[in-house]
Chain A
């Protein structure tokens, strides 16, 4: 008998019915909700006089729009305030558990789900946000959905889906010191491209993935969507179970024993068949820096920016030229020669405690360079912030000249006041370097937290080993 992949197993366990053309009704265990993609869904329910199918499956939090300074003043942006109030009102009306602004459990939806134990192995997890792939680090089938689907899940507890194909991404061997989950996933995206995973569920495996902490694995799965895959998954191991144990929403008592036993099955069978397999050697992966306007435009720190003239494909060559123009870079210049203006350490990719520790270790006893206009650290949740403060990381950052902010999405997408001005260049630990992502005309370079901290200290990108 042909073995099953991890994705096959979780998928099969959630199919309610299947049509002849392969369209399935898939059961959803956990639905995470935030303020930006839910108001129209709640409105739709009300208009159709429909109710929630299963209110206890939903956990809501405000994150995209929340300010990261001056919380005592409340929200000063009137348009954002309406959206945040709308979430509060909807949660109240429908009886949904919500972590509101000011609640220490509030934070970025993809940080708080795992932190609360609301994301569990073998679950189907959805959220109206593409980085829902993050939760795949727990062997959950987790992916982003649009607002119509948010409404569909609210009303039916199901999604209409077709099964994706299976892709295995095997990262063999061990990474060098200073190479993180962020570098691994950026290297993968550089290899397969931003559409390389389209239509696939990715499974990340191999020694380098096993070696990662759970937080590192979340960083990898977070960016599966940047490789075009809605979902990325990693098998359950002891680290997964250890991480979940005793978290507020985690199973308790006899349920815990039962759950742990069931979760041990959540890995691909040895004879599982993948539609596609990609292998990377961990030892070849250096700290990565994106230079362009798509996450696939990424290079190791010691490389030079590409030259469009070296590409014969006109579409490719034009895309490189357009990216260089937008980014204000010269062809062939060394990545290390790129000077930055702002530093952003945060986002659902890299705002957890280990990320902050890694950045603080570099910043300790140093000061940000004179050319840095702003360096900010935005913890992923109120609890991450508390933990960091208990460890004195906030002091290290502020003494080094960084601003220490309140949790939220912040300059990852710049919906609140945290943003780049036109032409400003940012070393960012977030996940998207699209044109205008961090502010109209802003220029984003994606890096790991340690690399962002090193850029803050040097004023330009620099190899951790040489700084």
Chain B
């Protein structure tokens, strides 16, 4: 997994609530057996005017000029700003893979759906929860200028805006540790092999029917 320590980037404002994983990556792309290559189909239904299929040459498709990702101002952006309940819907990690493959490193919203939130951390994508009022302020500031960069410092759990304002955000200790160090949590869990074995032995005694097959 990629490390996440500090990040500076410009921000894409997506002013809608409940952006669901079907919108982030439509189902026809879930047929892939790989983890990469989803970026070109991020927000496919909104981003292109024609219907997309996995085996197409996506560089030849008709783009929707009204969709924010197609606005040249945001072509190099790496931070997404959205409204509440971002990532609701299916558990597809493909949604996170599409965002990271596209180049998004952090998403800022008042709230996230649980499974999406969890999946993000496993892929070096930082979801940042801030109060709705702060999100409002960022939306407003962003629309008032031509260039708007945020600086994210994970160690300090701090977000700095161009006006010099800084906001603190929460992040779990364990998740922060994994992100800062780019750690694979399977490896971490396997350090507890003995504890897992011991638990299993007890459970086998208490609930033998769970181990009968």
Contact B207 A148 (CB under 8 A): no
- Segment from B60-68, B70-78, B144-152, B193-201 that makes contact with A: B193-201
Q: Which of A50, A86, A158, A436 contacts B33 (CB 8 A)?
A: A86
| A210 interface residue (CB < 8 Å to B) | no
A158-B123 contact given A23-B174, A56-B213, A120-B210, CB 8 Å threshold: no
Bound Cα distance A424, B157 (Å)? 47
Bound Cα distance A84, B54 (Å)? 16
Contact B122 A148 (CB under 8 A): yes
Q: Which residues of A sit under 8 angstroms from B26, Cβ to Cβ?
A: 436, 440
A152-B186 contact given A129-B90, A130-B115, CB 8 Å threshold: yes
Contact B123 A228 (CB under 8 A): no
- Segment from B4-12, B16-24, B160-168 that makes contact with A: B16-24
A146-B122 contact given A123-B210, A415-B27, CB 8 Å threshold: yes
* Total A-B Cβ pairs within 8 A: 192
Contact B92 A122 (CB under 8 A): no
Minimum CB distance partner of B175 in chain A: A23
Contact B186 A194 (CB under 8 A): no
| A128 interface residue (CB < 8 Å to B) | yes
| A177 interface residue (CB < 8 Å to B) | no
Contact B196 A156 (CB under 8 A): yes
B201-213 near A? 1/0 per residue, CB < 8 Å: 0010011111111
Contact A130 B90 (CB under 8 A): yes
A195-B111 contact given A146-B122, A436-B22, CB 8 Å threshold: yes
Q: Which of B85, B184, B208 contacts A195 (CB 8 A)?
A: B85
| A204 interface residue (CB < 8 Å to B) | no
Contact A25 B27 (CB under 8 A): no
Q: Which residues of B sit under 8 angstroms from A16, Cβ to Cβ?
A: 192, 195-196, 199
Q: Which residues of B sit under 8 angstroms from A122, Cβ to Cβ?
A: 207
Q: Which B residues from 88 to 114 make CB contacts under 8 A with A? A: 88-94, 96, 111-114
Contact A157 B196 (CB under 8 A): yes
| B35 interface residue (CB < 8 Å to A) | yes
| B185 interface residue (CB < 8 Å to A) | yes
| B142 interface residue (CB < 8 Å to A) | no
Contact B189 A40 (CB under 8 A): no
Tell me how many residues of A have a C-beta within 8 Å of chain B. Answer: 77
Contact A80 B31 (CB under 8 A): yes
Contact A262 B174 (CB under 8 A): no
| B153 interface residue (CB < 8 Å to A) | no
A154 to chain B, nearest CB (A): 9
A435-B34 contact given A146-B119, A415-B28, CB 8 Å threshold: no
B24 to chain A, nearest CB (A): 11
- Residue pairs across A and B with Cβ atoms less than 8 A apart, 27 shown, are A21-B174, A23-B173, A23-B174, A27-B196, A43-B33, A50-B186, A79-B32, A79-B55, A128-B93, A129-B91, A143-B115, A146-B93, A147-B119, A156-B190, A160-B174, A194-B18, A195-B113, A251-B212, A255-B212, A259-B209, A315-B83, A414-B27, A415-B31, A432-B90, A435-B23, A437-B22, A437-B27
**Inter-chain pairs besides A17-B192, A151-B186, 16 sampled, C-beta below 8 Å:** A20-B173, A25-B195, A56-B211, A130-B90, A145-B91, A146-B92, A146-B119, A156-B196, A158-B189, A198-B113, A319-B17, A413-B22, A414-B27, A415-B28, A415-B31, A432-B22
